[in-house]
Amino acid sequence: MQTKKYMMIPLLLLSVFFTACQNDSGETEDERPEETTEDTADQTSEETAEEQNAEQDIDEEDNSEPETEEAEPAEEKEEGTAENEEILNQVIDRSEDLESYEALIDLEGSVDGAPYTLNAEAAIKDGDPPDLLLKSNDEVRTVAKDGSTYIFTGDDWVETTESMNIESLFFVTYDSTLNSLAELSGQLTKEETDDSYLFTYEGSNQSVYKAFQSLLGFEFGALDTSEIYSDLEVEVDKEDHVVEYIAYEASGEDEQGEYSMNGDVEFTSFNEVEEIELPSEIEEEN
C-alpha cells in the first residue's frame, strides 16, 4: 500500500512540471496536484478500510471457532454418559439372577513409607441373610450361615450374630460394587475390546476416591486427601453383563509425607459356589 503511494508522488511532480510549461495560469498549476492528491488519498483510505474489514471478518471467524469446538465435547460427554448408564443398568438387571459368586481382593498400601497388605477371598451365597465364607491369607476367618456369624480370633471361634451383619464383615460385595459404579457413571470413560467393556477414570475427583475408599474399607486417617489422584479400571463381560475385574489406585502427598493404595478385586464363579459349611470346631461345640 505504501509503495503505491510513493510511486504516485514522482508522477505528480512530473505532471506539475509539464503543466507549468504549457499554461501560464497559476490556478491550473495549483488545482491539478491537489485534485490528484485527493484522489490518491481517497483510494488509500478505501483500501485501508477494506483491509480493516477483512481483518475484522477473519477475527470474527477465529473467535467463533472455539465455541463450536467447546460444544462438541459437551455433546459427546452426554452421549457417553447415557451409554455408560445403559450398560450399567444391564449389569444391575443381570445381578438379580445371581445366586452366588466369589470375590478375590488384594490391597496394598503405603503411608509415609510404611507398607501394609491385605489378601482376602470371599464366597457368598444369596439368602436372607446371605451365607459367607471369608478367608484372609488362606485361613478361614469368618463364616456366616443360616443367620449365624462366627469369627476366628486366632484361638477360638466366637459367635457375633447379634452385633454384626454381612456388610460390616465384608465391604466388597457385588451389590455394593454396582452401587458405587452407578453413582460414578458420568465420570467414567468407556472403551471396548472383543469380549469386554472397559470403564476407566483418571483424575482427582473426590467422589471417585470416596466411593472406592468406602467400597474397599480403606482410610488414610488424618492425612490430607483433598488432592488425591485416582486411577480406575473396571472390566465388564459383554456377553454375560457381569463385572469381572476392578483395579483401583490412589496416591497423594501432604505435609506428613506421601501415601498410596492399590486395590484389585476379581469376581468369579457366578452361580457356581457350593454349599457353605461351618468349620468342624463350631459343629462340635454345637
Instruction: Write the pLDDT tens digit of every residue in 12-35.
Output: 333 433 343 344 444 444 444 444
For residues 14 and 7, what is the distance between their CA atoms, to the nearest angstrom?
12
Contact status, residue 147 vs residue 137, Cβ threshold 8 Å: no
pTM of the model: 0.71
For residues 20 and 12, what is the distance between their CA atoms, to the nearest angstrom?
12
CA-to-CA separations, 75 to 146, 184, 200, in angstroms, rounded: 51, 18, 19
Task: Examine residue 10 and say whether the peptide bond preceding it is cis (omega within 30 degrees of 0).
Answer: no
CA-to-CA separations, 100 to 180, 198, 264, in angstroms, rounded: 20, 24, 20
Q: Which of the four pLDDT bands, split at 50, 70 and 90, describes residue 79?
A: low
Summary mean pLDDT of the chain: 79
Tell me the per-residue pLDDT of 119-158, one tens digit each, with 9 for 90 and over. Answer: 999 999 998 888 999 999 889 999 999 888 999 998 899 9
pLDDT at 81: 81
pLDDT at 137: 84
CA-to-CA separations, 261 to 64, 120, 252, in angstroms, rounded: 45, 16, 10
CA-to-CA separations, 76 to 71, 121, 158, 190, in angstroms, rounded: 9, 39, 55, 12
pLDDT at 25: 43
For residues 84 and 5, what is the distance between their CA atoms, to the nearest angstrom?
66
Packing angle, helices 206-216 and 174-183, rounded to 10: 180
Q: Which of the four pLDDT bands, split at 50, 70 and 90, describes residue 175?
A: very high
For residues 161 and 148, what is the distance between their CA atoms, to the nearest angstrom?
5
64 versus 229: the higher-pLDDT residue is: 229
Closest CA to 28 of 10, 16, 43: 16
For residues 76 and 253, what is the distance between their CA atoms, to the nearest angstrom?
34
Which three cell numbers mark 97?
439372577
State whether residue 158 is helix, strand or coil.
strand
Contact status, residue 238 vs residue 220, Cβ threshold 8 Å: no
Closest CA to 101 of 168, 176, 47, 151: 176
Q: How many Cβ atoms from other residues are within 10 Å of residue 11's Cβ?
A: 11
The residue-averaged pLDDT of 255-279 equals 94
Tell me the per-residue pLDDT of 177-230, one tens digit each, with 9 for 90 and over. Answer: 999 999 999 999 999 999 999 999 999 999 999 999 999 988 888 889 999 999
For residues 87 and 89, what is the distance between their CA atoms, to the nearest angstrom?
5
Domain ranges within the chain, ordered by starting residue: 1-96, 99-122+166-278
Tell me the per-residue pLDDT of 80-94, one tens digit each, with 9 for 90 and over. Answer: 688 899 999 999 999
